[in-house]
Each structure stands twice: as structure tokens, then as C-alpha cells.
Amino acid sequence: MSQGYCEKKSEGETCNEAENMEHLKRSSRGIVLDTIRKTERVARIDIANETGMSAATVTGISAELLSQGLIEEVAPDASPSDSRRGRPRVGLKIRGEAHLVAGVKIADRSAVVALLDFEGKLVGEFSLPLPHLKMSAQECAGFIRELMEAAMATNGRHLSDLSGIGLGMAGVIDAPRGFVHWSPSLTTRNVPLRQLLADTFAAAGPCPPIFLDNDVNLVALAEQWFGLGRNVSDFIVVTIENGVGMGIVINDNIYRGTRGCGAEFGHTKVQLDGALCRCGQRGCLEAYVADYALLREANISGEAFQDPNAEKQVQELFYKAKAGDVTARTIFQRAGKMFALGLANIVNIFDPKLIILSGERMQFDYLYAGEVIENMKNSVVQIDVSPPEVRIHKWGDLMWAKGAAVFAMEGVTERALRELSKNAR
Amino acid sequence: MSQGYCEKKSEGETCNEAENMEHLKRSSRGIVLDTIRKTERVARIDIANETGMSAATVTGISAELLSQGLIEEVAPDASPSDSRRGRPRVGLKIRGEAHLVAGVKIADRSAVVALLDFEGKLVGEFSLPLPHLKMSAQECAGFIRELMEAAMATNGRHLSDLSGIGLGMAGVIDAPRGFVHWSPSLTTRNVPLRQLLADTFAAAGPCPPIFLDNDVNLVALAEQWFGLGRNVSDFIVVTIENGVGMGIVINDNIYRGTRGCGAEFGHTKVQLDGALCRCGQRGCLEAYVADYALLREANISGEAFQDPNAEKQVQELFYKAKAGDVTARTIFQRAGKMFALGLANIVNIFDPKLIILSGERMQFDYLYAGEVIENMKNSVVQIDVSPPEVRIHKWGDLMWAKGAAVFAMEGVTERALRELSKNAR
């Protein structure tokens, strides 16, 4: 039983047909814009062919998008392949200067900022250490304002140049409400962080819209825009760092669950009454594969580390395992088995096309080696069709920040289209 | 990045704008039909209010649906509430005689048939024991033809009266292709069962379209149409019988995964290298909570049963546990703990609005008691918003068959709307 195609309104409200038609036209504008974005440089006629819209509709919509400065014309490509097909055609592309957006990733010890133009090109970056590993909500908001002011100044810009700021952090976050149920970076629960940030920025001048989400959802977005998830409608991103995260893309959209706390892969249980997790429960996948879990085991076996930094210690442990140290190997081996089990559960439930193991620590390939993937494949329901492909994608905090910027870009684009739609009425 | 709104075609093909508009009109017809179905009896103006379409559009579409005999007018309701609001209005309702559909559930030992009219009213039922617990593909097709012929004769009808047949069976089934990767009811894998059925029925005369799916997906459909899932856009159905099954509804649609083998809840692993499962792997949830798993434990403890039938034995074991037998209790207790763990994993991943524990065996409430649900709630990520509601819905094989009939009904409706759309061109 499908729903009406008018936008969802609060109960009791209905929307009229004119609004429905305008909604469809807005979708058409969005489809044209997406097509241009995906193709990078495309002639109007090819947009028509690609989308099934008439040439006239595409021309009309292009004119609107051009007049708003969201796209621009580019000189005909005089390459032989074009000229062979007749007169070279004027191309359309996204106009990079149309909007500037920022993405912020709050990592364990630092925050990283990426600045993207409307084409998605990286035009600036910046980072600062966190004042504390855990911040009060107020301190966090103040820090992000300072961070952004410094990031803009360093890149010769001002806050007022920004059309939107995307913010990704670990934790359970209700993205539509901009609400943090819980985050390891904050000292308190239930923080209406988006509102708090808006208030904090407003004190310094006009505040660009702020978009807030769980950081792994934003990695999934980055994969969709720039990475291995391009043109894949259904895929899953798993990250292992200090914790274990997951982003789910179904039908080209991030799946967030009804309370905004789906995709908590790290807290799926792999052992009844198992190892204690940071969350206070037992047997969570994270309690077997996250940094602290590996170090807990290393401590028990009396491992002595050179470096006081946990991340470095895990690295040391990893090199020991690689060099043949039996205890270190045992530690990584169990982690690998549990990780394979958790992954298999995801495949058995979602049956995705692709799984992307993503993040900075992918150099610890002991955990993600062929053996683990093989284990996973042996633990999924066996049918005579290949199990989903697993691909490994190493990248650093900057890519998380780029994902946050993309989230802001989507919000900014949606607003721009709504604006166009309002003017058209 | 959203897709164009033309229907997906094979690569390279595109569709033109006229087709797009016709697709939208077809959707409008579908929305009107769904609204009438949901409301049971509704005036045109209320459809307009509900959907946001203009009164003229609703009148036009109603006329088409009336002329095709899919809906009918009903006399004004002269109830006081109506007359108070002025002249009583003519209502629209689904025309029950428009189509007759059948649903078949292949259960462990028998097959059950439900006949529904186009209103979704049960107008006949029938069942036959299976010739063997496992059938060859050919035997299965032959049996289903005999079953359907007998079901129709018993209800004073003919096969030719049917607009569609829905078939639900356990296993890994690619519904869009009508292909059985594997089923416990069949002796062979990789069976193109829909084609085989079509050929088998065709030998006896014209064959109604056949729709094939995993049986738990069809329970989810039945919950959506008749049960606890009405008006819930995102929910999960879990069944425990001889195996453990799951159906996932996201955004009002059954989620099937990319290879047609998602939602394999019973084979998610709850224990590394754990108990042996019928599937040949270890540690599957099913290997702890399904009938055979409970009886395996009972056998080890030397339990003596009165009845050779496995289902009855589980019942006996259950009553022993209820009566305080320590071993029987221990068996159900571990099953309950594992079940809670598996359920918690689903909640941590999907964060659904509602979980429905559905099926015939819900009388074994030891497994589904408050304690289990409490355990589950304690094992999900803790935020200050209530975890999803868990509701228990006891019903028998007939409801599974009704779900299968609903699946056929959806297919038949889609075809009727496509037909209307073709005539309108």
C-alpha cells in the first residue's frame, strides 16, 4: 500500500495538487542537477536521454539552474569523438563558486575541517586538537565555532562565505532533529547540539545552516560521492577505529532507523554474556575488535609498549603479530574471527551488493585479511550466487570531513531547489 | 543522488516523458485504489482530502476504476454523523468480485490454500498433506496443481476463475525472478519454480499469473494488510517454528536484499563455532531456538516423549518446563537468551518502530515471555527514547496463506493498473 506522493506533513494536514505538481517539478530540477553532477560535464540532449525528460523540459530547467548560478555552460568539447557525431555541443557543469560548504569531523583527539566548493572540489582544509577528549556540550559548541573561524581565516575566507556546515561525530545521533542521544566526545547525553551550535555561531554574526549526523553515515556519503559507492544503490560501510561503525545505503539513501539509532553494528552481540564493552553491556562486537579491546588483551598478557598513545600501541601490537609473536597473533586472530561473524550477520540480514571496509586503520590488514573475508563468506547463507563483494578503502580523517561537507552540500542543494520552486510559483 | 523517476529499464534503454507522465498517472490510480482499500468505504471528496489530489482528478480516476469494475459505488451512509454534515455522500469501495486470488502456504507437513476476493475477504480455504516432507521440483509443481484444482472444486470454483496465485515457502527465494535458490521443502537447489508451475498449470488450460516468495515475507504482507502492521511504515516480523524467519518492511515495502536472500535472521550467528545448524554451519540462531534444536537438547538429557511427532514433542517439553522440570526449563532458558540476543542485534541494526513475533507457536510463551523481551531491551544501545515495541501475534497456517494471496493480489492490481494505463494511451 503505497503512500500519496505529497510530502509528508504533520497529521491532519493535507497538501493540494498544485503543491504535488511543484514537488514533482522540484524533483525534476533535482534530477537534472544530479545528472549534471554525476556526469561532471554533459550536454542538454544527453540529460534528456539519460532521464527520459523531453529536450524542452531539460532546456527549461537548465535555464532556471543557470539563472540561479547553480550550473554554468562550458565551451564545446572539440575532442574527435564529439566532432565525429556532428557539431560539438555546449556542455553543462556544476558551478563550483555557487556555494562553499564546510565539513567537520570530530575525531578522537582532533577535529578536521574540509572546505568544498559546489562541484565537490576540496578548496581548503584545517585541523585543531580537541581541548579535551570529552567536552561539555557548551565547550564543544564553542570549540567548533573557534575551529571554523580559524579554518576560514587560514584559507583566506570568512564564516559568512559558507552556505552550510556539516558536522559528523561518533555516537547515537538523530540527524533530522540535529540531536545527540549520546556521543563518546561529549560529557552529557541528550544534547540538542544543532540548536546549541546555531546559538553559539549566531552570537558572532549570521550563521549558515548546520547539519549534524553520525560520522559513519557521513563516510557512507563520502563513499557514495567520491569513493567505491559511486553508482551502487545498496551498500554497507564498516569502519573500525576506536569503535566500530556502520553506514547503510538502501536505494541510494542513508538508512537511519526510526529513532536515529540504527546501524549500531559495533554493539551487535557476538557472544552471550561475553567481553565487557565500553557501553556497559557484554559481548558487543566492539568489545572484541576495537582498539581498547585489543589493548585489554595485550595488557593481560603483560605486553610492554614503547608509546603511551593507545593508537600507537595497537600499531606496535600489530607489527608484533606480523613478525610472528604468538600472543599478539592470537589477539588479532580472535578479533578477526569475531569481525567475520559480525560481518556475516550483516550479509545474512541485508544481502547488500557491496561491503566497504573503510577508514584510516585499514593498514591493520591482519584484521581485514583475506582470511577474515573468507571466514565471513563461509558463514553466510550458501546459495549458488556469489556473496557480496568486500572492498577495502583506506583513508584518513579528511575523508570523514569531506563526507560531512557533502551532507551540508545536500542540505544546501535541497534549500536552493526549494528556493527556485518558491520563486517559480 | 536520486535516480530519474522513469521505471528502471535494462541498461542503455531510456524512457520518454510521455511514459513518465503515464507512470505518474498510473501511480495516481494506484494511490486512489489504495486509499479506497485502506478506508474500506470512502467518498470521493475524502479521497481528495486524503491524497491532496484535486476533486476533478479523483472523479476522473474513480470513473476509470468503476468502468474497469475494480471499485463500486455504495449507497450513502445515512448515519447521523454523516447527515449532520449535510447531504449524505455516495461512497466508493473495492468491488470484491473484481478478482479472485489464491494464496498457498507450503508448511512442514501440509499445504494450506486461502481464497480471497478483491476486497481481501476470505471466501474459501482448503488444505492437503504434503506427499513427502521434501519434494522434487517436478513433484512439487504437480502437487500444487492438484492442490489448487481440489481447492477450487471444493469451493465450487474453477482454476479459470483465478486472477492470480501467490505461493509462499520457506527458503531462499528470489521473488522477482520466481526462483528458489534453496528450500527445505525441495530436494534440489536452484529451481525456477514459477516457470515450472506455469508450465505444469498450462498443460491443464490457461494459467493465472503465479507469484512466488519466501513465506515470512508473506507473513509480513499479511501483517501489513490485516494485522498489527497496518499503518506502520517500518516494522519487522519474526517467526519461530521449525525454523526462524524474518520479514522486513522499510518505507511500506518488503525489503528483500540484492540477491533475494536478505532477512536470513535464523542464520545470523549468535555463537562463534557454536551448535551445529541444519544448514551445515555453526552457531546460527536457529540452532538454538528452532524445534530441532530444542529436541536435540532434550535427547541428550534422555527425555522420553509420548509422541513421535517433533512438533508434539516440543509441546511436551514446553509443558514440562512450565510444570517446573529443571532440565526442560534450562533448555528453554538458553533458547530464550539466544533469541533475545538475536532480536537485540536486529534492533541495533534496524531500529524499527515495531517488532511483531508472529506465527502459530506463540503458545510456547516461555520463549517469548516478558523476560526475553526484557533481555532484548537491555541488550540494545541505550538512549533516552523507548526501544521498539514488541508485539506477539498468534495465528495459524491460514494467515500465511492469506499473506500469499495478498502477494498475488498486489501483482494482479499492478497488472490491472497497467492495463488501464495501456487503454488510456
pLDDT 10s digits, A286-318: 999 988 899 999 998 887 888 888 888 998 998
Other C-beta atoms closer than 10 Å to the C-beta of B319 total 13
Q: How far apart are CA A246 and CA A79, in angstroms?
A: 43
Residue from B152, B86, B81 nearest B113 by CA:
B152
Contacts of B265 in chain A (CB under 8 A): 348-349
Question: Which of A367 and A191 is assigned the larger pLDDT?
Answer: A191
Render pLDDT for B262-272 as a digit per residue (tens, 0 to 9).
788 999 999 99
pLDDT at A86: 60
Question: Which of A395 and B350 is assigned the larger pLDDT?
Answer: B350
Q: How far apart are CA B325 and CA B319, in angstroms?
A: 9
Q: Are A359 and A227 in contact (CB under 8 A)?
A: no
Query: Smallest CA–CA separation between A72 and chain B, in Å?
Result: 19
Regarding whether B350 and B285 lie in a shared domain, the answer is yes
Report CA B12 to chain centroid distance, whole Å. Answer: 34
Least confident of A329-338, B177-186, B249-258: B249-258
Question: Which of A140 and A366 is assigned the larger pLDDT?
Answer: A140
Contacts of B49 in chain A (CB under 8 A): 14
pLDDT at A222: 94
Residue A64 dihedral angles phi and psi, to the nearest 5°: -60, -45
Do the chains contact at A52 and B225, CB–CB below 8 Å? Answer: no
Regarding whether A312 and A172 lie in a shared domain, the answer is no
Q: How far apart are CA B399 and CA B239, in angstroms?
A: 13
Number of domains comprising chain A: 3
Average pLDDT for residues A183-195, to the nearest whole number? Answer: 94
Regarding whether B289 and B268 lie in a shared domain, the answer is yes
Q: How far apart are CA B291 and CA B287, in angstroms?
A: 9
pLDDT band at B13 (very low <50, low <70, confident <90, very high): very low
Regarding whether A383 and A263 lie in a shared domain, the answer is yes
Q: Which domain holds residue A183?
A: 98-208+400-418
Other C-beta atoms closer than 10 Å to the C-beta of A396 total 13
Q: Does residue A163 have a pLDDT over 70? A: yes
Q: What CATH number does residue A50 fall under?
A: 1.10.10.10
pLDDT at A361: 66
Query: Smallest CA–CA separation between A276 and chain B, in Å?
Result: 12
pLDDT at A218: 95
pLDDT at A306: 84
The DSSP secondary structure of A45-95, one letter per residue, reads HHHHHHH---HHHHHHHHHHHHHTTSEEEEPPP--HHHHHTSS---EEEE-
pLDDT at B122: 96
User: How many CA atoms, within 13 angstroms, populate the side-chain half-sphere of residue B33?
Assistant: 28
Contacts of A20 in chain B (CB under 8 A): 52-53
Q: Are A407 and A221 in contact (CB under 8 A)?
A: yes
Residue from A235, A166, A202 nearest A408 by CA:
A166
Q: How far apart are CA B65 and CA B43, in angstroms?
A: 14
Average pLDDT for residues B347-376, to the nearest whole number? Answer: 80
pLDDT at B22: 54
Render pLDDT for A246-275 as a digit per residue (tens, 0 to 9).
999 988 889 988 877 778 899 999 999 999
Q: What CATH number does residue A105 fall under?
A: 3.30.420.40
Regarding whether A273 and A290 lie in a shared domain, the answer is yes
- Say if B89 falls within a structural domain: yes
pLDDT at B24: 60
Least confident of A328-332, B319-323, B394-398: B394-398
Query: Smallest CA–CA separation between B402 and chain A, in Å?
Result: 16
Global pTM value: 0.85
Do the chains contact at B2 and A34, CB–CB below 8 Å? Answer: yes
Regarding whether A37 and A137 lie in a shared domain, the answer is no
Regarding whether B266 and B367 lie in a shared domain, the answer is yes
Least confident of A8-17, A80-89, B203-212, B300-309: A8-17
Q: How far apart are CA A68 and CA A71, in angstroms?
A: 8
pLDDT at B12: 35
- Say if A381 falls within a structural domain: yes
Smallest Cβ–Cβ distance between B17 and the set A1, A53, A272 belongs to: A53
The DSSP secondary structure of A123-148, one letter per residue, reads EEEEEEE-SSSSB-HHHHHHHHHHHH
Range picked from B86-90, B117-121, B230-234 for highest mean pLDDT: B117-121
- Say if A143 falls within a structural domain: yes
- Say if A222 falls within a structural domain: no
- Say if B144 falls within a structural domain: yes
pLDDT at A3: 35
Average pLDDT for residues A220-224, to the nearest whole number? Answer: 94
SS3 A219: helix
Smallest Cβ–Cβ distance between B348 and the set A34, A268, A381 belongs to: A268
Least confident of A316-325, A407-416, B110-119, B389-398: B389-398
Render pLDDT for A349-381 as a digit per residue (tens, 0 to 9).
988 989 998 876 665 665 667 888 888 888 888
Q: Does residue B7 have a pLDDT over 50? A: no
pLDDT at A243: 82
Regarding whether A240 and A184 lie in a shared domain, the answer is no
| Final residue belonging to a domain, choices A60, A94, A128 | A94
Q: Does residue A17 have a pLDDT over 50? A: no
pLDDT band at A412 (very low <50, low <70, confident <90, very high): very high
Query: Smallest CA–CA separation between B287 and chain A, in Å?
Result: 14
pLDDT at A16: 45
Residues 6+ apart with CB under 8 A from A199: A141
Do the chains contact at A189 and B281, CB–CB below 8 Å? Answer: no
Q: Does residue B81 have a pLDDT over 60? A: no
pLDDT at B251: 85
Q: How far apart are CA B278 and CA B264, in angstroms?
A: 14
Least confident of A296-305, B210-219, B368-377: B368-377
Q: Does residue B135 have a pLDDT over 60? A: yes
- Say if B2 falls within a structural domain: no
Beta bridge partners of B110: B129
User: Which 8-state DSSP code applies to residue B233?
Assistant: S
Other C-beta atoms closer than 10 Å to the C-beta of A307 total 11
Regarding whether A366 and A240 lie in a shared domain, the answer is yes
pLDDT band at A11 (very low <50, low <70, confident <90, very high): very low
- Which of B27, B32, B42, B264 to mutate: most A Cβ within 10 Å? B264
- Say if A53 falls within a structural domain: yes
Cell numbers of A296, please?
Answer: 585489554
- Helices marked H in A301-389: 310-322, 326-350, 365-368, 370-378
Question: Which of A199 and A372 is assigned the larger pLDDT?
Answer: A199
